[in-house]
Chain A
Amino acid sequence: GQNIDQPTEMTATEGAIVQINCTYQTSGFNGLFWYQQHAGEAPTFLSYNVLDGLEEKGRFSSFLSRSKGYSYLLLKELQMKDSASYLCAVRDGNYQLIWGAGTKLIIKP
């Protein structure tokens, strides 16, 4: 079967750096997405990786290793507003999106 694994919850301190990991096993691979979802709101697109390596976008970076079935989202200079769930999703060989259950990130002052 197809599977996306992420930690359920993480805690970090304001101003620090946090890395949220995502591992996947899918039938084929056509890209990996990260979305941010604040409580009670819709998921919003953060990043997309289809080739190996690091994609940087301001305070957020996303890394992909296709051979290892692994990605991470790196958040720098954490702010209180970064408290949210972070969803990893993989587009499989049929171009269907498979979603992880999300990682709830709690930022403490």
Chain B
Amino acid sequence: IAGITQAPTSQILAAGRRMTLRCTQDMRHNAMYWYRQDLGLGLRLIHYSNTAGTTGKGEVPDGYSVSRANTDDFPLTLASAVPSQTSVYFCATAREGDGTDTQYFGPGTRLTVL
């Protein structure tokens, strides 16, 4: 693994289904973030984790949950997908969890909810 990986690359999902987007990093960065990117809007923060074992809510957390059991993994779960969750999802990391460091992005997951 080199950097940040996300899986799946893309997914089409029926509304009401549960879905987990995976994010794994090998940089030993403390902080991890989940964003969604929609046309015409800036990146919007869904959830974040400043260090393993802690998580926090971002700007648009409703309908999403996260966990941070270890440093490397930060999965994002949609408990019951809805069409408005159709988006491109990016995972990002930063060395420190205090917000002072540059964020680096994974390749993204394109999710379509029908």
Binding site for B on A (CB under 8 A): 4, 8, 30, 33, 41-45, 48, 87, 89, 91, 94-102
Contact = CB atoms under 8 A, between A and B. Distances in A.
Given A42-B108, A43-B90, A97 B40 contact: no
B105 A43 contact: yes
B104 interface: yes
A25 to B, nearest CB: 14
Given A42-B106, A42-B107, A101 B99 contact: no
- Provide the main secondary structure of the chain B interface: loop
Interface residues of B, number: 17
A8 B39 CA distance: 11
A87 B43 contact: yes
Interface of B: 40-45, 90, 98-100, 102-108
Nearest to B43: A99
Given A42-B90, A87-B42, A101-B40, A95 B102 contact: no
B105 A97 contact: no
B99 A100 contact: no
